[in-house]
Amino acid sequence: MKRFLLTTACLLMASPTLAAEIWVSNEKDDTISVIDVETLEVTRTIPTGERPRGITFNSDYSRLYICASDSDAVQVMDPVTGEILHDLPSGEDPEQFVLAPDNRHLWIANEDDAVTTVVDVETRKVVAQINVGIEPEGMAVSPDGKTVITTSETTNMAHWIDTESHQIYANSLVDARPRHAEFVNEGTELWVSAEIGGTISIFDTATQQEKAKIGFEIQGVHPDLIQPVGFEFTPDHKTAFVALGPSNHVAVIDAETLEVEGYILVGRRVWHLAFSPDHTRLFTTNGVSGDVTVIDVASRKPVKTIKVGRFPWGAAMKP
């Protein structure tokens, strides 16, 4: 018993107290800034390939996938050491991607080639390439893994792709320059943001028909500057936070009534968002001002802005 207690104590002392982190890709610096969620300070800056944009962790957070757009590769990083382990064949100019629930297939939007590439992260081989609209960007996967969405910026469409047949089975028109897509409410709804259109369209997943649209209006800000890009939902899916690009604000939406409840001032050209693990804080990447604003989710107020690299773009949480 004594030995057991001693061993347990030793083990407890040996295990490092890992704090939750927000990983941010810096598009112009070719780096990733790691922010400690507790201290709200940058603890590490890790070099990556050229022009890192979309980033995502696998389900056990043992690997980080990075869209290194100008290196024409998806890089795989060990988050503990910060070492790039290998590249995945991604097709040209990967911008955003989504990891399927099987934790194996990475669906990548190739902006310059108008294709969506499916890569098997284990065999490191391209499984399929699907022709989509011009300048694909936003990627989303349904919770059951049966449907993947690619939004194309210039064609202004959301393409519904069957993940088994790798065929597009529906196209839905969206307002100008769709940027980001998310499935909500157990996959029954699809939300798509349109950057130039300045709206978020909500589609019924069963019919692929648009059922609602949300517009934005900020007092004193020209409507042209209100450009919805990334958005995130609270775990109960009752509230959505939408990054509004060069308007320098994040909108708060009641996801049930679809009313805009308020706007939060953040840095310049806000791109994407990531929640802390307990969802009490929201981190926004502000491209032009080169920083990350931390929002207190309960009070919906910005509490701090943290300087990161040049042109922060994507954000991912690591518990």
Partner 1 sequence: MNNALTALIAICQRELLRFFGQRARMLAALVRPLIWLLVFAAGFRAALGLSITPPYETYITYESYIVPGLCGMILLFNGMQSSLSLVMDREMGTMRLLLTAPVPRWWLLSCKLIAGAVISVLQAYVFLAVCAMYGITFAPVSYILALPALFLTALMLGALGIALSSTVKQLENFAGVMNFVIFPMFFLSSALYPLWKMAEASALLRDICLVNPFTHGVEMIRFALYQKVDWINWAVTLVALAVFLGLALWGYNPAKRLISRKV
Q: What is the closest distance, in whole angstroms, from the C-beta atom of residue 263 to partner 1 in the complex?
A: 11
Asked if residue 302 binds partner 1 (CB under 8 A), the reply is yes
The CA distance from 235 to 240, in Å, is 10
- Residue written as tokens 């890089």? 75
Identify the residue among 166, 265, 279, 318 touching partner 1 (CB under 8 A). Answer: 265
* Pick 112 or 296: Cβ nearer partner 1: 296
Identify the residue among 75, 239, 248, 285 touching partner 1 (CB under 8 A). Answer: 248
Asked if residue 285 binds partner 1 (CB under 8 A), the reply is no
Residues β-bridged to residue 200: 193, 214
Q: Choose one: 84-92, 137-145, 153-161, 298-306; the region binding partner 1 (CB under 8 A).
A: 298-306
Asked if residue 266 binds partner 1 (CB under 8 A), the reply is yes
Asked if residue 294 binds partner 1 (CB under 8 A), the reply is yes
Q: Choose one: 51-59, 78-86, 204-212, 265-273; the region binding partner 1 (CB under 8 A).
A: 265-273
Q: What is the closest distance, in whole angstroms, from the C-beta atom of residue 192 to partner 1 in the complex?
A: 28
* Pick 150 or 248: Cβ nearer partner 1: 248
The CA distance from 134 to 80, in Å, is 37
Identify the residue among 211, 238, 304, 310 touching partner 1 (CB under 8 A). Answer: 304
Identify the residue among 125, 303, 310, 319 touching partner 1 (CB under 8 A). Answer: 303
10 Å Cβ neighbour count for 144? 11
Residues within window 213-242 making contact with partner 1, judged by CB under 8 A: 220-221
Asked if residue 289 binds partner 1 (CB under 8 A), the reply is yes
Q: What is the closest distance, in whole angstroms, from the C-beta atom of residue 305 to partner 1 in the complex?
A: 4
Q: Estimate to the nearest angstrom the gap between the alpha carbon of 309 and the chain centroid.
A: 18
The CA distance from 137 to 88, in Å, is 18
Identify the residue among 44, 166, 213, 268 touching partner 1 (CB under 8 A). Answer: 268
Q: What is the closest distance, in whole angstroms, from the C-beta atom of residue 265 to partner 1 in the complex?
A: 5
Q: What is the closest distance, in whole angstroms, from the C-beta atom of residue 254 to partner 1 in the complex?
A: 19
Q: Which residues bind partner 1 (CB under 8 A)?
A: 220-221, 248, 265-268, 289, 293-294, 302-305
